[in-house]
């Protein structure tokens, strides 16, 4: 069992800008470095493209002008296409790159694996993994671990296990990361006993578990409410000098909160500091989330103030917790103030922030402000979910803002987002109450969704 086996373990949202230094020598060095860097016209122009659909056309235009594409061109294009999920074009470019006999870097393929995985296309990732040697690129343990992780994250554990078992045939010796991925997969399936067996196998193969290994197991135990064994595992970590980090304590704090022991969870902040582990954002987030879940918003705000007193800068996740619970409580105006506060503090909202905020404003009937937030969201390159779009359209129509509703429908059409039947029924009812002809209004709105 894990605790017995563990006794045998041996010791084991703002960008950072460097301070400007007024140093003539550093300026000269920087200037020389810039001169040495060869600007590739295609890559420079590709970076300026707003529409990823034009990327492959640009590549072809340069080819027709007798421009010789090398690895940087192919890599930049593939990254662009993969991020936009244009996987058909990705395959086209990969085929061309293979035929060109270009020497490639392993990091490119790992990135493509991850993009395939995010789009739930693990079979594409696996196929590319087996093709890597055809691109003048050697596979290492790093790409092996990457494909294992994609399969596990896509709920293809059996396939991942098969790849893991064939590691020796492929010339790989699984390391700590490999075993951590397999343990994560088993815990995701709820198979704690089998995860412990993998842990024991690590020890038998003399592969040292890491803090990540322990965190996976502790996190599982805490989610199941088994705090006694989780704490025992923490003590074992400390004895073996694999000191717990902020994530370890966050798992324990979540377990205590789950058991309605908030005060004990908060006390862990002091315990971890005493043990030499500085509290991080994740620890405060756990406390704020628990307070918000129980409707204790003001106390959650006080945790935010405590963070600032400790000079721990809140990130978008922290603000999203507060904005979410304020919106759930129908306090959208306060949530909006929180949104403004985070932006003034230099923390940029993400897609989740905008979605929560627009949904919260729709809930209290403030559709005009919701429309303004939508504008900001679209400018930032984010997009609402269909249900939030629908709610906003219906709300704007109900409040008499037909132009606003049509604008939202136009944006939905651009993004191939369709209204559901229930929303259309509501729109028809709204149209029946308008001064302009019912058929005229319905025709105008329907034309925007076709």
Q: What are 70-91's pLDDT values in tens digits?
A: 999 999 999 999 998 999 999 9
Q: How many CA atoms lie within 13 A of 395 on its CB side?
A: 21
Indicate if the pLDDT at residue 230 is higher than 90: yes
Quote the CA–CA distance of 76 and 62 in Å, as a whole number: 14
Encoded tokens for 93: 């470019």
Indicate if the pLDDT at residue 328 is higher than 50: yes
Q: What is the pLDDT of residue 373?
A: 94
Lowest mean pLDDT among 168-172, 193-197, 406-410: 406-410
CB atoms within 10 A of CB 95: 10
User: DSSP code of 104?
Assistant: -
- Count of residues for the chain? 450
- Asked whether 246 and 276 are in contact (CB, 8 A), the reply is no
Q: What is the pLDDT of residue 6?
A: 41
Quote the CA–CA distance of 128 and 308 in Å, as a whole number: 46
How far the first Cα of the chain sits from its last, in Å, is: 61
pLDDT tens per residue, range 334-345: 999 999 999 999
Nearest residue to 215 via CA among 264, 257, 250, 171? 250
Indicate if the pLDDT at residue 112 is higher than 70: yes
User: DSSP code of 67?
Assistant: -
E strand spans, 217-261: none
Instruction: Measure Cα distances from 142 to 8, 98, 282 in Å.
Output: 28, 21, 27
- Asked whether 229 and 3 are in contact (CB, 8 A), the reply is yes
- Asked whether 106 and 142 are in contact (CB, 8 A), the reply is yes
Encoded tokens for 324: 């979410």
Indicate if the pLDDT at residue 11 is higher than 50: no
Q: What is the pLDDT of residue 445?
A: 52
- pLDDT band at residue 316 using 50, 70 and 90 as cut-offs: very high
Nearest residue to 75 via CA among 115, 109, 99? 109
Which SS3 state, helix, strand or coil, does residue 244 take? Answer: coil
Nearest residue to 148 via CA among 136, 156, 160, 166? 160
- Asked whether 151 and 126 are in contact (CB, 8 A), the reply is yes
Lowest mean pLDDT among 141-145, 238-242, 269-273: 238-242
pTM of the shown model? 0.76
Dihedral of CA 399/402/406/407: which sign? Answer: negative
For the chain, give the mean pLDDT: 86
Quote the CA–CA distance of 13 and 60 in Å, as a whole number: 36
Most confidently modeled range among 2-16, 19-33, 308-322 = 308-322
Q: 234-257 b/e with 16+ CB inside 10 Å = b?
A: bebbeebebebbebbbbbbbbbbb
pLDDT tens per residue, range 19-33: 343 454 444 444 444
Nearest residue to 372 via CA among 345, 407, 343, 399? 407
E strand spans, 145-247: none
- Percentage of the chain modeled with pLDDT above 70: 86
- Asked whether 264 and 249 are in contact (CB, 8 A), the reply is no
Q: How many CA atoms lie within 13 A of 18 on its CB side?
A: 4
Indicate if the pLDDT at residue 365 is higher than 90: yes
Q: What is the pLDDT of residue 52?
A: 80
Q: What is the dihedral of CA 408, 410, 415, 418, to 10 degrees?
A: 80
In the predicted model, what is the mean pLDDT of residues 88-113?
A: 95
In the predicted model, what is the mean pLDDT of residues 188-199?
A: 95
- pLDDT band at residue 368 using 50, 70 and 90 as cut-offs: very high
Which SS3 state, helix, strand or coil, does residue 70 take? Answer: coil
Query: What number of helices (H) and strands (E) belong to the chain?
Result: 26, 0
- Asked whether 280 and 251 are in contact (CB, 8 A), the reply is no
Quote the CA–CA distance of 130 and 144 in Å, as a whole number: 10
Could you tell me which residues come within 8 angstroms of residue 95 by beta carbon, excluding any fewer than 6 positions away? none
pLDDT tens per residue, range 382-427: 888 888 888 898 899 888 888 998 898 888 888 777 777 777 776 7
Q: Which position has the token pair 């058991």?
A: 259
Encoded tokens for 182: 């397999």
Encoded tokens for 9: 């373990």
Instruction: Measure Cα distances from 232 to 71, 222, 236 in Å.
Output: 51, 12, 6
The DSSP result for 367-388, as a single string, is HHHHHHHHHHHHHTT----HHH
- Asked whether 219 and 241 are in contact (CB, 8 A), the reply is no
Encoded tokens for 42: 């295609």
Q: What is the pLDDT of residue 18?
A: 35
In the predicted model, what is the mean pLDDT of residues 175-180?
A: 97
pLDDT tens per residue, range 116-141: 999 999 999 999 999 999 999 999 99
């Amino acid at each position: 069992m894990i605790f017995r086996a563990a006794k045998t373990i041996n010791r084991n949202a703002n960008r950072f800008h460097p301070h400007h230094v007024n140093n003539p020598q550093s300026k000269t060095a920087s200037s020389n470095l810039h001169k040495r860097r060869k600007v590739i016209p295609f890559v420079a122009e590709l970076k300026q493209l707003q529409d990823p659909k034009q990327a492959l056309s640009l590549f072809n235009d340069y080819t027709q002008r007798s421009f010789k594409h090398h690895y940087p061109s192919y890599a930049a294009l593939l990254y662009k296409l993969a991020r936009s999920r244009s996987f058909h074009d990705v395959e086209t470019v990969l085929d061309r790159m293979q035929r060109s006999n270009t020497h490639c870097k392993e990091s490119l393929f790992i990135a493509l694996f991850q993009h395939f995985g995010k789009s739930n296309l693990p079979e594409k990732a696996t196929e590319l993994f087996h093709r890597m040697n055809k691109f003048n690129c050697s596979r290492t343990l790093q790409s092996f671990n990457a494909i294992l992780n994609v399969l596990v994250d896509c709920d293809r554990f059996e396939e991942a296990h098969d790849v893991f078992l064939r590691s020796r045939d492929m010339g790989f010796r699984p390391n700590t990361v490999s075993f951590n991925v397999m343990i994560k997969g088993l815990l995701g399936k709820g198979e704690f006993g089998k995860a412990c067996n993998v842990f024991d196998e690590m020890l038998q193969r003399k592969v040292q578990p890491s803090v990540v290994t322990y965190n996976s197991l502790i996190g599982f135990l805490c989610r199941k409410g088994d705090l006694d064994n989780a704490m025992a595992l923490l003590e074992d970590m400390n004895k073996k000098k694999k000191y717990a980090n902020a994530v370890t304590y966050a798992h324990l704090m979540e377990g205590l909160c789950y058991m309605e022991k908030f005060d004990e969870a908060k006390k862990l902040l002091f315990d971890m500091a005493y043990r030499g582990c500085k509290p991080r954002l994740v620890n405060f987030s756990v406390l704020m989330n628990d307070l918000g879940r129980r409707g204790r918003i003001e106390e959650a705000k006080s945790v935010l103030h405590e963070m600032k007193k400790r000079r721990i800068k809140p990130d978008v996740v922290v603000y999203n917790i507060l904005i979410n619970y304020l919106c759930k409580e129908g306090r959208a105006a306060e949530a909006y103030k929180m949104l403004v506060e985070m932006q003034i503090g230099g923390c940029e909202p993400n897609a989740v922030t905008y979605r929560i905020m627009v949904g919260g404003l729709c809930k209290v009937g403030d559709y005009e402000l919701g429309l303004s937030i939508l504008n900001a969201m679209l400018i930032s390159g984010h997009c609402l979910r269909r249900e939030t779009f629908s709610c906003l359209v219906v709300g704007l129509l109900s409040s008499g803002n037909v132009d606003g509703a049509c604008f939202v429908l136009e944006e939905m059409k651009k993004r191939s987002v369709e209204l559901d039947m229930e929303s259309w029924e509501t729109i028809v009812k709204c149209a029946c109450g308008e001064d302009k002809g019912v058929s005229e209004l319905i025709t105008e709105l329907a034309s925007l969704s076709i």
